Structure 1
Amino acid sequence: MDNVLLVHADARDPARVLNEARELLDESKPVCIVATALLHLWRNDENPAGVLHEYMRAFPAGYLVFSHCCWDKVEPAKLARLRAIYQRYFMPIYPRTAAEIAVMLDGLDVQEPGLVEASQWRSNDRRIDVGDAYFLAAVAKFGQYVVTSARDAA
């Protein structure tokens, strides 16, 4: 596969990740950045929002696919169990409130239906009750997105 590359690097180091992937990236074209189930693994002092925005600044435009663990609706006992599961695999987890997560998307053009429970994002039936929501999800445009085809205009 000529257009696939595995970069073995810490995602918190955008300069290194982007440098290693440079041969496949056309920085003049829009990209899709997938940051799902990632930023809640980083402490606040690791600046997850800043790192995310650094990736986006490397490109003129694109989309962000995003999810983050949220503790707003989670009972403390369930949150403790969730933390224990992650810790078992040496991955501490840092859930944030919906308000803290929303700040990470500041300055982006968040697409409908907005920042919502992951199970409800573009669900055919939003009435489905999945119980406590641990993850919020969103898709957002960033940069100077230019319509280049009829498909982009939809």
Structure 2
Amino acid sequence: MSTDETVATAAEFGSDESAALHIRQDIPHSARMYDYFLGGKDNFAVDREAAERVLTVFPTMRTAVHANRAFMHRATRTLARRGLRQWLDIGTGIPTSPNLHEVAQTVEPAARVVYADNDPVVLAHSRALMTSTPQGRTAYVHGDVHDPAAILATPQVAATLDLTQPVVLSMVALLHFVPDLADAHAIVKHLLDPLPSGSALVLSHATAELDPSGATKVQEIYNQAGTSLRLRHKAEFATFFEGLDLLSPGIVPAHRWHGDEADAPTDALPATVTDAQVSFYAAVAIKP
């Protein structure tokens, strides 16, 4: 997709969505800003301008998002090595290889993944999420995390995942965009409750606890740009895991979560990276 395009529709990209989905370039979008921080090209001038404002108050944001993505890779490999074979990844973001299914299928070629996101830009690039191994399967749902029932009811979920068997519910760098804590809890509960024992919850979440000044300014920039962002302390983040069994090392800054393994070469960050520079908490837990 060219960044010169102002509007794209689902039909243009071969989607089965019946309604036209407009891609706006007059306001910044969190997924496109995240893509910019990762070094991607699927963003507009307005996204780059907002992202550069973030970098002026939080200069290590690129380090933070790379640490967050590396956590997703490690958590995926750890759970695949523990025998999990199914993922529901919500808040997928613009595809950046290796995507979750590529990581999971490196360990287990038969792994199955359903991606879900409500951003038309992600929909436009969803073909990149459909590159499954022959043994496995991937699918994409254009759905909103605020309507978890609709996501679970999609034919893509029914055709790809067996909800009688353990599923990894992955919501990486997503819940801080749900400002009300009760609403965020309700979303997690609605998605996790139908999943059987042995399923897993993978979360990461931005926080102001590790760099109060810089992170709070980032929150202000997102909110002023029209994207509601709610940073949370560790104690609030921990409430999402109540009733679940946290895997070691528990709730830690994202770059410190290593699960069953050390960093892969593509995940490694400089040893000098600090908790404040990352300012994301991360954790993985198993449903009893």
User: What is the TM-score normalised by the length of structure 1?
Assistant: 0.80
Alignment match, 1:97? 233
1:130 counterpart = 2:274: yes
Alignment map for 1:1-154 (pairs within 5 Å): 3-20=137-154, 21-44=157-180, 47-61=183-197, 62-76=199-213, 78-87=214-223, 90-122=226-258, 128-132=272-276, 133-143=278-288
Per-residue deviation, 1:23: 2.1
Figure out how many residues of one structure are paired with residues of the other and give that number.
141
Q: d(CA) in 2 for partners of 1:56 and 1:46? A: 15
Q: d(CA) in 1 for partners of 2:239 and 2:205? A: 12
Per-residue deviation, 1:25: 1.8
Alignment match, 2:6? none
Relative distance call for 1:17 and 1:45 in structure 2 (3 A) is same
Per-residue deviation, 1:129: 4.3
Per-residue deviation, 1:86: 2.8
Q: Which consecutive unaligned segments of at least 5 residues does structure 1 have? A: 144-154
Q: Is the 8 A contact 2:178 2:230 kept in 1?
A: yes
Taking only the aligned residue pairs, the percentage that are identical comes to: 28
Q: d(CA) in 2 for partners of 1:75 and 1:66? A: 21
Per-residue deviation, 1:99: 0.6
Q: Which consecutive unaligned segments of at least 5 residues does structure 2 have? A: 1-129, 264-268
Alignment match, 1:148? none
Amino acid at match of 2:178: W
Per-residue deviation, 1:50: 2.0
Amino acid at match of 2:161: L
Q: d(CA) in 2 for partners of 1:52 and 1:42? A: 11
Decide which moves more: 79-88 or 62-71: 79-88
Consecutive aligned runs of 4 or more in structure 1 exceeding 4 Å deviation: none
Report 1 or 2 for greater relative contact order, CA contacts < 8 Å, sequence distance ≥ 6. 1
**Structure 1 SS opposite 2:243:** coil
User: What is the TM-score normalised by the length of structure 2?
Assistant: 0.45
Per-residue deviation, 1:89: 5.5
**Structure 1 SS opposite 2:287:** strand
**What is the CA deviation profile of residues 37-94 of structure 1, one whole-angstrom value per residue up to 9, with x for unaligned ones?**
0001002166112211211111113111111112112233x12431244346632210
Q: d(CA) in 2 for partners of 1:9 and 1:46? A: 20
